[in-house]
Amino acid sequence: MESSQDFNSLRDAIQPALLAVTRSANGLANEDLQFQRTVHPSVGSQLDNTTDRMLQLVSGLLKSSSKVTGQSTSKLEDLDDVEIKWKGIVDVIDSFLEKADTCLDEYTGLIKRKDAPTFEAGRDAKRTKSTTERLDWSLKRANIVKPQNAFEKKPDNSNNGPWKPILTTKPHAIVPLDQCFTTFINEEQTTQYQHPYRHEIEAMQYPSHVFESREPIKYLPVETTKAIWVDTYEGVLEMLEELKKAREIAIDLEHHDYRTYTGLLSLMQISTREKDWIVDTLMPWRHKLEILNEVFADPKIVKVFHGAYMDIVWLQRDLGLYVVGLFDTHHASTVLGYGGGSLAFLLKKFVDFEADKKYQLADWRIRPLPDEMLYYARADTHYLLYIYDMIRNDLAATANTVHPDGKPIQRVIAKSKETSLRRHENPTFELETGYGDRGWYNYLARSSFVYNREEFAVFKALWNWRDTTARQEDESAGFIMNQNVIAEIVRIMPTDKKALWSLLDGHARHLKPRLDELFNVIQEAKEKGATGPTLLQYFSSTTSNPTHTQVILPKAAEPEVSVDINELKSEQSQLWGKVPLSSTWEPSSKKAPETEELLEIPLFYSVAQAEEDEDLPDASEPVPILKPASEVYGKQQEPENQEFTLKAGRKRKASEADVPSGPEQVESEEPEDNNSDVEMDDVVIILEDGEDNDEDEEEEGETDSEAAKKAAKQEKKLRRKAHKKAKRAAEQQTEEEEGGVDDEEARREAKRAERKARKAAKKAAKEQEKQLLLQEEGEGEEGEEEEAFDYSKAASVLRADGGAKSEFDNNKKRGKKGRKEKVFDPYAAKASSELKGVRNRNYERAGRSGTFKK
């Protein structure tokens, strides 16, 4: 009760003060302080004193908060420092508020700290996940002394040559260690050392119990077992003796890569069926952990990992450990087709344990480790052997599954061996080209930046300076300077050190001693970049990887074998047999005639046959065969393509008995005599040269082309009239004989023959017209010369009715009553001087508007 009363009294005292300060701050923000400073000098001095006082209070508050959160901040000297160091201030305040929020939740009982399950809770009791999803900043970015500074063997961050294995002894060796330090050329055409245990891993035969289905061994309850913390070399030796007795061991690692250049293996968890160990791999004597190869390289002991893709590399890089006999449960879950491949999924599936994976991002260099992190680290291996048993049984149950790569268990082992053969290689960076794991080429290739000469040079210089500094101080490149900060510096191009300092983020405190050096790098790069290439020019002049080329060896020449093609041919298809694949390949029973009679169609004659009603062909009679043109027109026919002249201004007139002169005459003759109907199919119009020269003089006004067109039009009209009459006569005849004719097939054949005859006549008439036009154009070009254009008689282009009249004026369109249509003048209304009233306007009407719906 007393504690709650003290808290309430403290809250009542603090809350009004905070509200008053907030109101005052909001009121000041709404006023123009600069204006008041100018108008009232006394106000300016008061503002300066208040600003200094606020800076002192904020600096003291940040100093106190940084002690709680584990973060340090520099002193605020003026208002510019607040803007420059704003991100660092926000980080400190956020961490402080998170701590305060957590403390309030624990105090009010909203959350409670979970200890290890007790014996009364049962052996299946599990620790629940914490209610806070975010990891505390002090656990994520711990401000501690770098442990690698105390290592007896310091990490080598140089970029000189390939990385050489740090292995000094080789237990369970098939090939001696001195024969393993050989180099080779990898796919990127760089020299690298061979894997020391490559022969042992490839030749390894897994124990028989890996392929058998057995009853899973239940994990021990966490309350009856205790994780052993190993931070001495003697403790390592004791653990080693226990591990040698096991058939399977579970291994997991925790890694840190923010405050080191290549990475730092911070923790190693090892579990057997009975015990759990947590090994501190940050001790100064960490290189002595190489003795664990007596177990790690033993092919009789199965090493169970989950997702060992990077664990294999970290072990050999930092501790000189190599794994022989790996079983990766991640590969097994993939082969079995589980719904997920993470360790959290397997823990939930087989153990019903929910792992709090937010600690994956924790800083595992912290010593001593909080209980929550220890519990998380232990759980990764404590249940892993039981998961291995369950997965092994599932693999054995699917042993009969057919797959090109073999049985499921064989596929898992093959992928596990492939993971064990991974090697560590030094991170490379080529200064000029930007290629390598830590180079800038891939970053610029994925970005949308288009740098000019100076910007491109400054970007390369900053990237190179950052990599060099990170290697020297054993820090990550992101800790030295973020990629976004580099891009911002290149975009703004600061002209002084103060502007450069304002662009640096919360890690500026590490760069402050190097600020002058960084500013000089930028200025020198700008000078050199004035004559250098732009980013686009660089990309266009280089390929994606010009230094890495593939060596393609010529293929060995294969001996040529002579093959007889005739032996490969078959007389018939093996699929279809004797069935012909096409009717064109079948032997024809009828032979085509060797010679066919050619029909001559005259080009310059229009033939129309007019039959009387009694002479119409019967539908039952066969269709007559067309005769050659020589038999129809006689031997006196002119040779084909012979030239002739069609006189201008003359129509070919036929006698009234043969061809009517116009449509009016034809209509008048219809009621008198039906037998006198004329079809154009029976009229032969022969155009000859040299007739009726007197008639040419009567029609001097018409040109040759006009006469030909008129004749063609008249001829078409005659053909249409004759065709209609013949069609009506045929229909009448058909109706009369329809009662006596029973064979409908004969009538269809008769109609089909009639249609063919009409089509042939039409085609011959069209060909005649084309030849007439061609002849007229040819004669006009030869006989007459083109007259020069007379501009004095030409029509005016400015006035529609002014100037000389053209020869087409007489042919203008006329109205229905024969008078000329009045031409619309758009300017007549404007030129008129008559007064006109104002047009009626549709003014808005009074009343309520309405909405119309469909």
Tell me how long the chain is: 854
Cα(602)–Cα(641) distance, integer angstroms: 10
Q: Which of 114-118, 121-125, 708-712, 787-791 has the highest mean pLDDT?
A: 708-712
Tracing tokens 């053909």 back to the chain, one arrives at 719
Please give the pLDDT value at position 533: 92
Lowest-pLDDT choice from 555-564, 625-634, 667-676, 749-758: 667-676
Share of the chain above pLDDT 70, in %: 64
Q: Residue 742 gets which letter from DSSP?
A: -
Q: Are residues 398 and 535 located together in one domain of the fold? A: no
What average pLDDT score do residues 266-295 get? Answer: 96
Q: Is residue 769 part of a domain?
A: yes
Per-residue pLDDT tens digits for 623-661: 455 455 444 444 444 444 544 444 444 444 444 434 444
Q: Is residue 68 part of a domain?
A: no
Question: Which residue range(s) make up the domain with 613?
Answer: 606-691+701-735+747-776
Share of the chain above pLDDT 90, in %: 35
Lowest-pLDDT choice from 23-27, 524-528, 593-597: 593-597
Residue 304 · residue 388 · CB < 8 Å: yes
pLDDT for residue 290 is more than 90? yes
pLDDT for residue 517 is more than 90? yes
pLDDT for residue 701 is more than 70? no
Per-residue pLDDT tens digits for 427-460: 988 888 898 889 999 899 888 888 999 999 999 9
Q: Please give, one letter per residue, the 3-state secondary structure of 167-202.
A: CCCCCCCCCCHHHCCCEEECCCCCEEECCCCHHHHH
Q: Are residues 408 and 448 located together in one domain of the fold? A: no
Examine the fold and report which residue of 521, 541, 561 is the final residue of a domain before the chain moves on.
541
Structure tokens at 851: 């909405």
Please give the pLDDT value at position 548: 44
In which band, very low, low, confident or very high, does the pLDDT at 579 lie, cut at 50, 70 and 90? Answer: low
**Phi first, then psi: what are they for 55, rounded to 5°?**
-65, -40
Cα(489)–Cα(424) distance, integer angstroms: 34
Measured over the CA atoms of residue 656, residue 662, residue 664 and residue 667, the dihedral's sign is positive
Please give the pLDDT value at position 722: 78
Q: Are residues 301 and 336 located together in one domain of the fold? A: yes
Q: Is residue 69 part of a domain?
A: no
Q: Are residues 289 and 243 located together in one domain of the fold? A: yes
Q: What is the CA radius of gyration of the chain?
A: 53
In which band, very low, low, confident or very high, does the pLDDT at 85 lie, cut at 50, 70 and 90? Answer: confident
Cα(226)–Cα(148) distance, integer angstroms: 29
What average pLDDT score do residues 256-280 get? Answer: 95
Please give the pLDDT value at position 687: 41
Please give the pLDDT value at position 28: 65
What average pLDDT score do residues 688-712 get? Answer: 54
Q: Is residue 165 part of a domain?
A: yes
What average pLDDT score do residues 242-268 get? Answer: 95
Residue 256 · residue 266 · CB < 8 Å: yes
Kindly list the strands in the beta sheet with 276-280, ordered across the sheet, starting from the edge strand earlier in the chain: 227-230, 276-280, 264-271, 248-256, 302-305, 326-328
Q: Residue 592 gets which letter from DSSP?
A: P
CATH code, 495: 1.10.150.80
Measured over the CA atoms of residue 386, residue 388, residue 391 and residue 396, the dihedral's sign is negative
Q: Are residues 215 and 355 located together in one domain of the fold? A: yes
pLDDT for residue 103 is more than 60? yes
> Roughly what angle, to the nearest 10 degrees, separates helices 329-336 and 384-397?
40
Q: Are residues 413 and 451 located together in one domain of the fold? A: no
| Count: domains in the chain | 3
Torsion angle of alpha carbons 631, 636, 639, 641, nearest 10°? -90
pLDDT for residue 55 is more than 50? yes
Q: Are residues 351 and 461 located together in one domain of the fold? A: no
Structure tokens at 470: 């990170």
CATH code, 264: 3.30.420.10
Q: Are residues 323 and 377 located together in one domain of the fold? A: yes
Q: Are residues 450 and 408 located together in one domain of the fold? A: no
Tracing tokens 């990550």 back to the chain, one arrives at 476
The helix/strand/coil state of 262 is coil
pLDDT for residue 466 is more than 70? yes
CB count, 10 Å around CB of 68?
13
Give alpha helix (H) positions in 218-351: 233-244, 293-296, 311-314, 329-336, 343-346
Residue 326 · residue 303 · CB < 8 Å: yes
Please give the pLDDT value at position 491: 93
Q: Is 169 exposed, middle or buried (0-12, 13-18, 19+ CB in 10 A)?
A: exposed
In which band, very low, low, confident or very high, does the pLDDT at 241 lie, cut at 50, 70 and 90? Answer: very high
Cα(413)–Cα(416) distance, integer angstroms: 5
User: Looking at per-residue confidence, does 630 or 309 come out higher?
Assistant: 309
What average pLDDT score do residues 765-773 get? Answer: 81
Examine the fold and report which residue of 495, 523, 541 is the final residue of a domain before the chain moves on.
541
Per-residue pLDDT tens digits for 813-836: 455 455 556 667 766 666 555 666
Q: Is residue 112 part of a domain?
A: no
The helix/strand/coil state of 412 is helix
Examine the fold and report which residue of 756, 776, 796 is the final residue of a domain before the chain moves on.
776
User: Which residues are 814's β-sheet partners?
Assistant: 820
In which band, very low, low, confident or very high, does the pLDDT at 293 lie, cut at 50, 70 and 90? Answer: very high
Q: Are residues 368 and 448 located together in one domain of the fold? A: no
Per-residue pLDDT tens digits for 112-150: 444 433 333 333 444 545 545 677 777 888 888 899 999
Per-residue pLDDT tens digits for 316-362: 999 999 999 999 999 999 999 998 889 999 999 999 988 877 888 89
The helix/strand/coil state of 440 is coil
**Phi first, then psi: what are they for 250, rounded to 5°?**
-110, 135
Please give the pLDDT value at position 24: 77
Burial 271-282 (b: 16+ CB within 10 A, else e): bbeebbbbbbbb
Q: Is residue 431 part of a domain?
A: no
Tracing tokens 């005016």 back to the chain, one arrives at 796
Please give the pLDDT value at position 804: 46
Spell out where 672-712 has E strands. 684-685
Q: Are residues 264 and 190 located together in one domain of the fold? A: yes
Q: Is residue 285 part of a domain?
A: yes
Q: Is residue 37 part of a domain?
A: no
Going by C-alpha positions, the residue among 147, 90, 133 that lies closest to residue 361 is 133
Q: Are residues 201 and 331 located together in one domain of the fold? A: yes
